[in-house]
Amino acid sequence: MIQNDTFRHKGLRKKLVEEVRSKGITDNAVLEAMLQVPRHFFMDSGFLNFAYSDQAFPIGCGQTISQPYTVAFQTQLLQVSKMDKVLEVGTGSGYQAAILLQMGVRLYTVERHRGLFLNSKALLESMGYHPVCVYGDGYKGLPGYAPFDGILVTAGASEIPEKLIDQLAVGGRMVIPVGDDNGQVMTLIEKISPTEVKTTNHGNFMFVPLLKGKNG
């Protein structure tokens, strides 16, 4: 694992953050975290130009690291505060996790691919972050750690998993792309009482699918 964050990387990152800002992201805490986290650590070392362009990219196991704009959009919609307890479903490369950790949340993150789980856990720990990384099926959430102030799903769900709504604290927010292989609608679910949620839609996106069960 080569971890070298040079002035060149920092310069490229600054440009990327300006691009993401120009596309409509206004939350300075999100943009600041993006400025701090070296995205190239989360991709194979040869892909520097891709690390700092606003694009999704393959990370192995048929999965992708989300587009930086999408990471910023989902994080902004989640509206986290320092020390919030947050569940991420779909650790993948660990990049989105690092953005949330950089913002000071207490993060629980679940990944169903063992290889991605092992890589992202080791990388995040080597960067000095302390998430709880779990190898498992995020469709079920993590009932042992619930309730969560925020739940962020980073894969496209065909339906909103009821168990995740159950694990949301009252006043908590869940951000989840809902749809099929042709695209998903970014959906915000706010838990307004133990039995009521408010659901709003926030534009179209394209994610790899949220799948049930674990994979080797």
Which residues are the active-site residues?
A: 66
Q: Which is nearer to ligand SAH, 53 or 171 (CB)?
A: 53
Helix (H) / strand (E) element for 13: namely helix 7-22
Q: Which stretch binds ligand SAH (CB under 6 A): 57-65, 122-130, 177-185, 198-206?
A: 57-65
66 binds ligand SAH (CB under 6 A): yes
Q: Which of 40, 64, 168, 187 is close enough to bind ligand SAH by CB under 6 A? A: 64
- Distances 22 to 16, 54, 68, 69, 184 between C-alpha atoms, Å: 10, 12, 13, 10, 23
Which residue, 119, 159, 158, 155, is CA-closest to 137?
A: 155
> What's the burial of 42, exposed, middle or buried (CB within 10 Å: 0-12/13-18/19+)?
buried
Rounded to a whole number of angstroms, the distance between the first and last alpha carbons of the chain is 22
Q: Which is nearer to ligand SAH, 86 or 116 (CB)?
A: 116
x/- map, 131-150, ligand SAH, by CB under 6 A: ------xxx-----------
Q: Which of 20, 39, 86, 90 is close enough to bind ligand SAH by CB under 6 A? A: 90
Q: Which of 95, 108, 148, 205 is close enough to bind ligand SAH by CB under 6 A? A: 95
Interface size with ligand SAH, residues (CB under 6 A): 24
Q: Which is nearer to ligand SAH, 122 or 192 (CB)?
A: 122
Residue numbers of the site for ligand SAH (CB under 6 A)? 63-66, 89-90, 92-93, 95-96, 110-113, 116, 137-139, 154-155, 208, 210-212
